[in-house]
Each structure stands twice: as C-alpha cells, then as structure tokens.
C-alpha cells in the first residue's frame, strides 16, 4: 500500500496513470453531459450466464482413443465456481515441449457448428483434439509434454501435463459441447 508522509507527496507515475485511465474511462462510459445513469457493463443478457473465466475452470484430460487411423483425446472444462457460467466456441490448443516452447502449429478448428454451453457449478463440458495415429501421409513432430489450452473467448491459458504427438500435419480441435 502506498502511504504519503506529506500532503505534497506525489503518487508514483504508474499509480497516477492507472487512476487517470480509470477515471477517463468512467467519464467516457457515463458521458460527461448525460443525465441518464450509465448502463451496467457486465450484466448478462436475458438469463444467459457470464462467460467462464479461466479461474472458474478446472481443465483435465479424458482417455485417448483411436479409431480409423486417428487419435482422439477429450479435454474437459469443469466449472469450479459457485455460480453458473457459459462457454461458446473453440478452445485454443497447442502442444509444448518441456521448456514450454510450442511444437508445430496450434490446433485447427474442425468447422463444426457450435452453441453456448451453460455450465452449472461442478458441471463439465468438453472439446476433442485429434491427430493421426502415427505417420500416415506425413511425419510426426516431437512428442509434447504439455498442452497449452485457452478456454473459448479467453486470452489466458493454462498448461495441462499431456504427452501428445502431432502426426501427418493434422491437429484439430472441436468446439465445446455439453
């Protein structure tokens, strides 16, 4: 906490800049000459819960399964908060080595249609990642030690320990499904 010993002490420039930015943003949102109250920025629309933040979620991996030359692995998103939240769209997924460097490109979206998935507390939704089950039509990249996963709509990721080998230039992810 910053404490001032005299009235003439100045706040550090970083605190001043942050405070000034917040005040200006508040004035811009409220309007300086408006007599109407500002709209609530975070209010959910007609019964739709807020978007799940990374801090609301526990990410885990299901079982790897193979079929018809492909390898599938389910990524589970479990709501650990005390309120409902929602996920919509595709997670961002990439494989990383032990030094947290990305191996190959991030997973491509499968192109499937998606809808909003509402997650009550302690409930889960999932997405499925896929590659080929070995070098079928292309080489395999080095095996990753982690998957870096971004929930849909989030700029924050978590690392999940997971041995994953991308083969044949195929690395797909499905949208979140209930």
Task: Give mean pLDDT, residues 19-28.
Answer: 35
What does the alpha-carbon distance between residue 15 and residue 18 come to, in Å, rounded to a whole number?
Answer: 5
| pLDDT of residue 4 exceeding 90 | no
Average pLDDT for 113-122:
97
pLDDT in tens, 147-163: 999 999 999 999 999 99
- The strand pairing partners of 77, in sequence order, are 59, 125
Q: Distance between CA 17 and CA 23 in Å, rounded?
A: 10
Q: Is 112 a residue whose pLDDT tops 90?
A: yes
Band the pLDDT of 134: cuts 50, 70, 90. Answer: confident
pLDDT tens-digit readout, 28-41: 333 333 333 333 33
pTM value is 0.72
What is the rounded average pLDDT for all residues in the chain? 80
Task: Assess contact for 59 and 160: CB atoms under 8 A.
Answer: yes
Domain boundaries, the chain: 11-42, 54-173
The domain 54-173: what is its CATH number? 2.60.40
Q: How far is CA 110 from the centre of its chain?
A: 18
Q: How far apart are the first and last CA of the chain?
A: 44
Name, of 8-22, 46-60, 66-80, the range with top average pLDDT.
Answer: 66-80
Q: What is the mean pLDDT of residues 69-98?
A: 97
CA-based R_g, the chain, Å: 22
Taking the C-alpha atoms of residue 17 and residue 67, their distance in angstroms, rounded to an integer, is 56
b/e sequence 77-112, b meaning 16+ C-beta within 10 Å: bbbebeebbbbbbbbbbbbbeeeeeebbeebeeeee
């Amino acid at each position: 906490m910053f404490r001032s010993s005299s009235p003439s002490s100045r706040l550090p420039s970083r605190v001043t800049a942050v405070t000034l930015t917040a005040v200006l943003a508040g004035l811009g949102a409220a309007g300086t000459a408006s007599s109407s109250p500002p709209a609530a920025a975070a209010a959910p629309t007609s019964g739709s819960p807020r978007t799940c933040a990374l801090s609301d979620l526990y990410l885990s991996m299901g079982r790897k399964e193979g079929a018809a030359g492909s390898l599938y692995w389910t990524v589970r998103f479990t709501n650990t908060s005390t309120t409902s939240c929602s996920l919509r769209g595709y997670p961002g997924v990439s494989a990383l080595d032990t030094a947290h460097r990305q191996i190959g490109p991030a997973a491509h979206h499968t192109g499937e249609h998606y809808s909003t998935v509402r997650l009550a507390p302690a409930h889960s939704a999932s997405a499925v990642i896929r590659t080929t089950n070995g070098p079928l039509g292309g080489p395999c990249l080095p095996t990753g030690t982690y998957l870096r996963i971004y929930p849909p709509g989030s700029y924050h990721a978590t690392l999940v320990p997971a041995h994953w080998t991308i083969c044949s230039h195929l690395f797909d992810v499905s949208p979140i499904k209930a």
